Chain A
């Protein structure tokens, strides 16, 4: 039960990926600029749901990389916003590597990078402070339905990996929810956490267990072939 990490890589083939997208990104059709609208449309459905498809989004950025006249800044922003919800997977950076060198200087991209840095550095309270400091951040992420909840999930995973128990006050500040808020209760219940007298208990999992172990050597069958060979000679 505890043998798997809470962290999951972004799926190579998400269950929600339509067949047309699959065949498009598998073949050379992914380089055809005419297909960019199909991929952009698919991004649109990702924005309206919890679905997320890194490979398909990278295919959009690839087309932009080769065909600068296709570039749609709003699409780039939305791809980056979606990849914020995949942290600590490296998706955000994988997208940045594909952008043109000058794109990092873009004001909106710079703001998203700022949010990314705060999340990667686990400065969750600061993240919310910046996010709420000015309407522009909310506007920037408004296309992605449920963005804030998705970020809370990222944070909750990080906390569940590290803590076995945490004061509910601290947790609520990480999640930017008040302790008395019903949402706070429903968020922690969604992860089977228990709020008990001001302390939230996290069930043990692969990541927060911290058991000392001794790594034993592992002898493979191939290493024994010679020895088994000798027994034949007897």
Chain B
């Protein structure tokens, strides 16, 4: 049924979103009793809503009504988290129905509140199947309101929150897919619920939301105008000229980059970024978490496409950024998350460096040695290094998803679902295995300018024919597709190794490229210093 949304012309797409609002076969009835019990519990617990929280909610509501983005920023990033730490570390925030009287039953506010409510449950507690379903329903309400109201809605929210909405929507989708695939410890009721509600958190519904936001906001047109010039107001249109739509559209592009990576479609992931240029002025840099996410997935996709040099560039760029801005985000509620992603990217960087030795930024290199020095040397040691590649990959890869749920008709398959990340790891490691002997070979080649095949084969204790094969591999792997200009998917093959060689029948001729001394930087620095001294003297005179 959801597929039909995509069959329509692009323009009509967003109108199809209202199909998303799920009608759970039988869920409502099952939940009725539970809900009543919950309601009673809440009433007790209502009297316990601390005054400070009540006041917070009233204040929060007022600022949403007034579109006071500045205040909302503080409320969202600080107050909410402070109150969570104080009152709700182990329990959920009060249910939305429960605070409804405080906010005149304002449905839009309650939807936004529920977004925070469920997100808090996902991050601090463990969500039940009902939470997962209801949170999905709430996202449908939210996106229906934004996409299908009469005309653009007047709501304004901080960029950080808008990013988090898209980010969390995808996170919960991924979390649900993994939850659905693990049927082992589920009760029969849960399995029935999953089976009867296939459309909940389905791939098509998630993609539909993201693509609809992109279409509605005309973000692609806006990006094209900002790149090539033109009339921005005309390009943006009625919806896209509002920050809420524009940013949601933009973040949806990054969201699709992520979703496609999670599904193992790396070319399509990078294709999403066709109109976004990777530089500091790009919009994604306005929200740190988004900035980090963008580079993580771009780097990862490059790595899976064997474009290690491009991956290294992406990872080192963002790791330098994280290191430089560390002091600013230590207090941010996302500090831990950013650090975790940073650690994972160091692990991926270690893999890429092992496959494609490259000179790195000094600080990044020092940090990499400190963290993964031992791993790096293990990965250079042939066969025994494979395990290290696997460990690092599994630690640092995204949480892949299997887009279709288990086959509920076939009871055997219910038990033995393969975890998607093993699928990806297996293919990637086969790739690594081909080049596992390269470091050893390189270390010998570096010592000579010419050498006979027989002699080197004797050193390595392998057959001359096998050595020839290995040399062909070294050659192929020393060429990589590398980005130069244009979209992220573009790039030409260039030599990425400082060691090159050729064969004249049975003789290997080796050539090494060396980095010349760098004078320019030294002169520039000293010219500046000199200029400062002159300026200083002039001031005194």
Interface string of A145-188 (1 = CB under 8 A from B): 00000000000001101111111000000000000000000000
Residue contact A31 to B479, C-beta cutoff 8 Å: no
A58 at the interface (CB under 8 A from B): yes
A97 at the interface (CB under 8 A from B): yes
Residue of A nearest to B6 (CB): A31
Residue contact A208 to B502, C-beta cutoff 8 Å: yes
Residue contact B492 to A217, C-beta cutoff 8 Å: no
Interface string of A17-45 (1 = CB under 8 A from B): 00000000001110111100000000000
Residue contact A122 to B476, C-beta cutoff 8 Å: yes
Residue contact A32 to B7, C-beta cutoff 8 Å: yes
A181 to chain B, nearest CB (A): 22
Residue contact B494 to A101, C-beta cutoff 8 Å: no
Complex-state Cα separation, A164 to B450, whole angstroms:
14
| Cβ-neighbour of A163 out of B204, B492, B504, B528 (below 8 A) | B504
Residue contact B479 to A161, C-beta cutoff 8 Å: yes
B511 to chain A, nearest CB (A): 4
B383 at the interface (CB under 8 A from A): no
Interface size, chain B (Cβ < 8 Å): 69
Residue contact A7 to B469, C-beta cutoff 8 Å: no
A211 at the interface (CB under 8 A from B): yes
Interface string of B196-226 (1 = CB under 8 A from A): 0000000110010001000000000000000
Taking CB atoms, residues of chain B closer than 8 Å to A216 are 516
Complex-state Cα separation, A90 to B475, whole angstroms:
16
- Stretch in A61-69, A74-82, A133-141 touching the partner: A61-69
A71 to chain B, nearest CB (A): 11
Task: Known contacts A9-B492, A68-B404, A102-B418; decide if A214 and B10 are in contact (CB<8 Å).
Answer: no
Taking CB atoms, residues of chain A closer than 8 Å to B96 are none
Taking CB atoms, residues of chain B closer than 8 Å to A226 are 524, 528
Complex-state Cα separation, A9 to B488, whole angstroms:
13
Residue contact A55 to B267, C-beta cutoff 8 Å: yes
B12 to chain A, nearest CB (A): 11
Residue contact A210 to B6, C-beta cutoff 8 Å: no
| Cβ-neighbour of A101 out of B423, B430, B481, B505 (below 8 A) | B423
Taking CB atoms, residues of chain B closer than 8 Å to A104 are 423, 426
Residue of A nearest to B515 (CB): A215
Taking CB atoms, residues of chain B closer than 8 Å to A94 are 266-267, 304-305
Taking CB atoms, residues of chain B closer than 8 Å to A121 are 434, 469, 473
Residue contact A90 to B305, C-beta cutoff 8 Å: yes
B531 at the interface (CB under 8 A from A): yes
Residue contact A101 to B420, C-beta cutoff 8 Å: yes
| Cβ-neighbour of A9 out of B204, B266, B431, B491 (below 8 A) | B491
A79 to chain B, nearest CB (A): 14
Complex-state Cα separation, A14 to B95, whole angstroms:
55
Task: Known contacts A97-B424, A101-B423, A217-B518; decide if A32 and B491 are in contact (CB<8 Å).
Answer: no
Taking CB atoms, residues of chain A closer than 8 Å to B528 are 226-227
A197 at the interface (CB under 8 A from B): no
Residue contact B493 to A98, C-beta cutoff 8 Å: no
B155 at the interface (CB under 8 A from A): no
A5 at the interface (CB under 8 A from B): yes
Taking CB atoms, residues of chain A closer than 8 Å to B402 are 100-101
Q: How many A-B residue pairs have CB under 8 A?
A: 174
Complex-state Cα separation, A20 to B468, whole angstroms:
46
Complex-state Cα separation, A161 to B524, whole angstroms:
40
B514 to chain A, nearest CB (A): 5
Complex-state Cα separation, A97 to B418, whole angstroms:
14
Residue contact B513 to A213, C-beta cutoff 8 Å: yes
A82 to chain B, nearest CB (A): 15
Q: Which of B407-427 contact A (CB under 8 A)?
A: 418, 420, 422-424, 426-427
Q: Which of B494-541 contact A (CB under 8 A)?
A: 494-495, 500-505, 509-516, 518-521, 524, 527-528, 531
Most buried by B among A121, A122, A165, A223: A122
B225 to chain A, nearest CB (A): 19
Complex-state Cα separation, A28 to B404, whole angstroms:
19
B467 to chain A, nearest CB (A): 11
B404 to chain A, nearest CB (A): 6
A14 to chain B, nearest CB (A): 14
Residue contact B514 to A215, C-beta cutoff 8 Å: yes
Complex-state Cα separation, A11 to B313, whole angstroms:
23
Residue contact A31 to B204, C-beta cutoff 8 Å: yes
A110 at the interface (CB under 8 A from B): no
| Cβ-neighbour of A117 out of B10, B430, B476, B494 (below 8 A) | B430
Complex-state Cα separation, A165 to B506, whole angstroms:
9
Taking CB atoms, residues of chain A closer than 8 Å to B511 are 210-213
Residue contact B510 to A210, C-beta cutoff 8 Å: yes
Residue of A nearest to B431 (CB): A93
B289 at the interface (CB under 8 A from A): no
Taking CB atoms, residues of chain A closer than 8 Å to B265 are 58, 62, 65, 97-98
Task: Known contacts A31-B207, A161-B475, A164-B503; decide if A212 and B513 are in contact (CB<8 Å).
Answer: yes
Q: Which of B3-26 contact A (CB under 8 A)?
A: 3, 6-7, 10, 13
Residue contact B476 to A5, C-beta cutoff 8 Å: no
A51 at the interface (CB under 8 A from B): no
Taking CB atoms, residues of chain B closer than 8 Å to A27 are 10
Complex-state Cα separation, A100 to B492, whole angstroms:
31
Complex-state Cα separation, A12 to B490, whole angstroms:
8
Q: List 5 A-B contacts (CB under 8 A).
A: A28-B13, A67-B3, A98-B264, A209-B502, A214-B513
Q: A28-B10, A93-B428, A217-B520 are known; give 9 further A-B pairs, CB within 8 A.
A: A5-B495, A28-B211, A98-B265, A100-B404, A121-B469, A158-B475, A212-B511, A214-B513, A230-B531
